[in-house]
């Protein structure tokens, strides 16, 4: 079989033989550590928010199960939720935002 060659103006190339091979691009320059630190901060905030949200759920369940009283009024159940749910949600959302900002800053 004849070897296939391609001529493009002043460039010549042989058949492409790296289909599906190593596509890694090695960048010679060093990147800033700031995007990675922002992403790690986002991960820590997300995990802290998730942990606080789980703790809120456990405290709510303990409060409701300890009273052993199940009225039909929804106000009883909303009062049983501790005030830690707001910081938990804020930490979780801040963690997601910081993670995304870190990824955006890491792109060139």
pLDDT, one tens digit per residue, over 39-65 is 999 999 999 999 999 999 999 888 888
The whole-number pLDDT of residue 88 equals 94
Q: Evaluate if residue 4 carries a pLDDT over 70.
A: yes
Residue 14 phi/psi, 5-degree rounding, is -95, -175
pLDDT tens figures, 88-99 = 999 999 999 999
- Digit-coded pLDDT (tens) for 13-44: 666 666 666 666 666 667 788 899 999 999 99
Q: What is the pLDDT of residue 61?
A: 87
Q: What is the mean pLDDT of residues 77-97?
A: 90
Both ends of the chain: CA-CA distance in Å?
A: 44
Looking at every residue in the chain, the average pLDDT score rounds to 82
The stretch 75-87 carries a mean pLDDT of: 85
pLDDT value for 47: 96
Which of the 8 DSSP states describes residue 6? Answer: E
Strands (E), the chain: 5-8, 11-14
């Amino acid at each position: 079989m004849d070897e296939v060659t391609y001529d493009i103006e002043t460039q010549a190339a042989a058949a492409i033989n790296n289909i599906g091979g190593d596509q890694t691009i090695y960048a010679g320059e060093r990147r800033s550590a700031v995007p990675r630190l922002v992403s790690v901060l986002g991960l820590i905030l997300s995990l802290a928010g998730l942990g606080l949200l789980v703790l809120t759920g456990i405290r709510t369940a303990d409060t409701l199960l300890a009273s052993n009283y199940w009225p039909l009024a929804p106000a009883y159940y909303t009062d049983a939720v501790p005030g830690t749910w707001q910081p938990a949600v804020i930490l979780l959302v801040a963690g997601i935002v910081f993670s995304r900002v870190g990824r955006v800053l890491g792109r060139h």
